[in-house]
A and B are shown apart, each in its own frame.
Chain A
Amino acid sequence: AQTVTQSQPEMSVQEAETVTLSCTYDTSESDYYLFWYKQPPSRQMILVIRQEAYKQQNATENRFSVNFQKAAKSFSLKISDSQLGDAAMYFCAYRSYGGSQGNLIFGKGTKLSVKP
């Protein structure tokens, strides 16, 4: 079974600085998808960024980028120019490729605080 591990329960960053959130996963599959979700205090989880395992190029979305290391099974999220609105829980999630395994497997999350 696949597992997702986020080793940082909490992180803090100064506004305008850069922060990296760690995520590792365990799988025997060669194709899969990885996601970062953000859960602000309002509780709705919002997709931040996604990565297809078969793509070597790291995904980027504005200030958000990932460092995807397939061999190391690592999928870290970098937030550049941090803003107060980035404060939230961040969840790393795994999804199998194909078949009926459409569900997401989540890590425990990292609580990010942004200091003004």
Chain B
Amino acid sequence: EPEVTQTPSHQVTQMGQEVILRCVPISNHLYFYWYRQILGQKVEFLVSFYNNEISEKSEIFDDQFSVERPDGSNFTLKIRSTKLEDSAMYFCASSVVGQGSQPQHFGDGTRLSIL
């Protein structure tokens, strides 16, 4: 069964540095998402992406964050000037459609540790 893949599985970065988290959504999916899960807290929506542009973003997704689909397969989340509080699990998800009961398929996540 096709899967969403994320790399790296664990990223350790110094505070203030930039980090790029990578995701390969399922090939026939058109909607892409990033979520964040700080340790011990709920999974939080960051951003959704469709047709090469952001369709929705949460208040968490400020100017520090950006997303890009640089080619036909990858979907990236860039975090500039990382802060300690950016430490979290970051999940990528994709779906065929952006609404309805069609499920979002999640990757394994990238554990981001900011030192």
Contact = CB atoms under 8 A, between A and B. Distances in A.
Interface string B69-82: 00000000000000
A104 B35 CA distance: 9
Contact of A108 (B3, B41, B109): B41
Contacts of A100: 55-56, 98
Interface string B41-63: 11111001000000110100000
Given A103-B33, A103-B56, A105-B45, A42 B108 contact: yes
Contact of B43 (A46, A91, A95, A99): A91
Given A97-B99, A100-B56, A43 B48 contact: no
Interface in A41-55: 42-47, 50, 52
Contact of B109 (A44, A98, A107): A44
A43 B35 CA distance: 13
B28 interface: no
Nearest to A93: B43
B56, B58, B95, B106 interface centre (most CB from chain A within 10 Å): B106
A25 interface: no
A43 B103 contact: no
B3, B100, B101 interface centre (most CB from chain A within 10 Å): B101
Nearest to A6: B42
The 8 A-B pairs at the shortest CB distance, nearest first, are namely A103-B45, A102-B98, A45-B106, A47-B103, A106-B43, A108-B42, A44-B108, A33-B101
Nearest to A4: B42
B48 A103 contact: yes
B100 A33 contact: yes
Interface string A58-79: 0000000000000000000000
A35 interface: yes
B23 interface: no
Contacts of B42: 91, 106-109
A102 B56 contact: yes
